[in-house]
Structure 1
Amino acid sequence: MDVSDAELTVEVTGPVATVVIHNPARRNAMTAAMWRQLPELLDRLEPDPDVRTLVLTGAGDAFCAGADLGDLAELLDAGDASIAVTAEERLASFAKPTVAAIRGACVGGGAQLAVACDLRIAADDARFGVPPARLGLVYPAPTTRRLARLVGPSAAKHLLFTADLVDAERALRIGLIDEVLPADQLAARVDELTATIAQRSPLSVAAAKEIVDDRAGPARIAWWHRKVVTTGEAREGVAAVAERRTPRFAWQAPTDN
C-alpha cells in the first residue's frame, strides 16, 4: 500500500465541514497516522465560526473497514488509552452536531467512529459489524459502553458476541443508525439534514447535545438558560416566527466555555 494514499481530507462548504476517510487500498481502514490526525482536524474545525455541522464519511463505496491491522500491535499495547479511543472520544466531544454518512463497510474502527457521531445516515448497501470476538480482542470499554447506550445492552451483546455483519435494515431496527435510503440518495439527504441543522439556533443545538450526552451538570444547565436570556437567541427566534422569515441566529460558542 502506498501510505500517501491513506489520509483524512477536509472540505468546508458553507456551514458544513466534511471529513473524508481515504484509504482506498484497504476499504478506508484507519492507519495509526489517520487516528492521530482526526483529533487535530477536529481541534481546528471546532472553533471555526462558519462551521455549523460536521459530516464524517468514507471515500468511494465504503465508510471504513476498521483499524488497519498493520497497526494492531500498537493499538493492543495501549488498551483503552489507544490512539483509536482518543480519536473516538474527541469526535464524541466535538461541540457541534456530527453526522456519519455511511456506505458499504462500517466495521470495527469504522463502527467505532460512526457510533461516536451524533447521527448516522446510511445507504441501503451499508453493512455493520463489531469483530473483536472473531479476532480474540477486547473492544475498548468506552467504545463498548457508547455502543450499549445507543442500541441497548441486548443488541450490543448480540453484535459483540457474534461479530456478525448486519445489514442496514437490521441496523435501523436496533437503533444503530437513524435513516436508511438508496445509495444514490444518500448525499442529497445528508445535505438536506445538515442544511436544516445549520439553520437552527447554535445555542439550542449545543445545549441539547451536552444535555443528551450527559455532559452538563446543574451549573452548566443554568449557564445555558442564562445564555438564552442574554444572547437574544430566543427573541430572534420568536420574531422570525412572527414575521414568517428565516431566523438569523448569530450566537457562537466561546472557545473557553
Structure 2
Amino acid sequence: MEPQLSHRVGDGVATVVIRHPAKRNAMTADMWRALPPLLDELTADADVHALVLTGEGETFCAGADISTLRGSPDEAQGLAVLAEEALAAFPKPTLAAIRGYCVGGGSQLAAACDLRFAEEGALFGVTPAKLGIVYPASSTRRLMSLVGPATAKYLLFSGELIDAERALRTGLVDEVLPVAALDKRVAEFTRVLTSRSLLTQAAAKEFANGRTDRDAHWAEQARGSGDTAEGVAAFLERRQPRFTWMP
C-alpha cells in the first residue's frame, strides 16, 4: 500500500486514517503536505461535527519516515509543524484514537488533537534527542501544556517511551481502554460530541488554545444562533436539543 492519508465521513464524524503499514504508519513528506488541505476540506464540510485521527491496523504513527530527513531535515520538520498547527486549528472537536506506537511525529499529531483515547499497550515517546533534532518551540509548548514541564523534559531529554498508564497519569492521554474496546468507546464519545452545541465547542476551543480577545465575537454569535434558546427549551421539555449553529 502506498503511504497515504485516507478519510471517511459518517454520522457527523470525519475519520482520518494514517496509512503506511510498511513503516508503522510513519509520516512521509507527502503525507505531511496532504494533511492541511484535507483539514480545510473537512472544515468546509457541513456534515462534519467532529474529527477522529487514527492509524491503520495496530499502530497509530511511529513518527516521521526517517528516510525523508536525509535530504532536507529542516524542510521535513517545517512540513510537520505546518500539519500539526493545521490540526490544532481545526475548528471542531478532534480526538486521536491511539493503539500501538505513538512516537515522534505521531506524538506531535496526537498532542495537536483536543483529546486522546488510547488502547492498553500503547507506547508514547518524543524522540528528537535520539536523532539530534531540535524539537520545534510550538510543539514543545503544546506538549508542556498537556503534561507539565517535568514530564515534558523527561520525554524530550531522554527520548524514552512510556506506557499508556503513565501517559494517563501525566495527562498525555484522557482515557485508556481495554484491548478491542477503543473503537466502541470512540464511537460512543463522538456521538456525545456531535449531539452538543458546535457554538459552545468552537468558542471553548479557541479560548482554551489561548485566544481570549474575541469575547464580543462569540457573544454576538450566541445571540444570533438560537442555540441557547434551543438548549433551554430542550432541557425544560426533556428532549434532545437540535443545535443548528455552524462555523
State if a TM-score over 0.5 links the two structures: yes
Matched, 1:155 2:151: yes
Give 2:75's aligned residue.
78
CA shift digits 1:198-247 (9 cap, x unpaired): 00011011000001111231xx1111112212211100000000111110
Q: Report the CA distance between 1:79 and its aligned residue.
A: 7.6
**Hey, what's the Cα distance between the residues in 2 that align with 1:47 and 1:151?**
32
Task: Give the alignment partner of residue 35 of structure 1, picking from 18, 32, 43.
Answer: 32
Asked if the contact 1:122–1:179 (Cα under 8 Å) also holds between the matched residues in 2, the reply is yes
Task: Note if contact 2:126-2:160 (Cα within 8 Å) is conserved in structure 1.
Answer: yes
Equivalent runs, 1:83-98 vs 2, <5 Å: 83-98=79-94
Q: Is the 8 A contact 2:69 2:76 kept in 1?
A: no
Superposition deviation, residue 77 in structure 1: 2.5
Residue 227 (str. 1) matches residue 221 (str. 2): yes
What amino acid is the match of 2:170?
I
- Which position in structure 1 is the counterpart of 2:164? 168
Counterpart of 2:160 in 1: which secondary structure?
coil
Written as runs of structure 1 = structure 2, the 5 A alignment for 1:1-257 is: 5-74=2-71, 76-78=73-75, 82-217=78-213, 220-253=214-247
- The answer to whether the 8 Å contact 1:79/1:140 transfers is no
Matched residue SS, 2:212: coil
Query: Equivalents in 1 of 2:72, 2:170: separation in Å?
Result: 29
Residues matched between the structures, number: 247
- The alpha carbon displacement at 1:134 in A equals 1.5
CA distance in structure 1 between the aligned counterparts of 2:3 and 2:126, rounded to whole angstroms: 22
Q: Secondary structure at the match of 1:83?
A: helix
Unaligned runs of 5+ in 2: none
User: Residue type matched to 1:161 in 2?
Assistant: F
Q: Secondary structure at the match of 1:152?
A: helix
Percent of residue pairs bearing the same amino acid type: 57
How high is the TM-score relative to the length of structure 2? 0.97
Q: CA deviation at 1:46?
A: 0.4
Return the alpha-carbon distance in structure 2 between the equivalents of residues 136 and 211 of structure 1.
Answer: 35
Check whether the contact 2:29–2:76 (CA below 8 A) recurs between aligned residues. Answer: no
- Give the letter aligned to residue 124 of structure 1: E
Question: Given residue 173 of structure 2, which amino acid in structure 1 is its aligned partner?
Answer: I
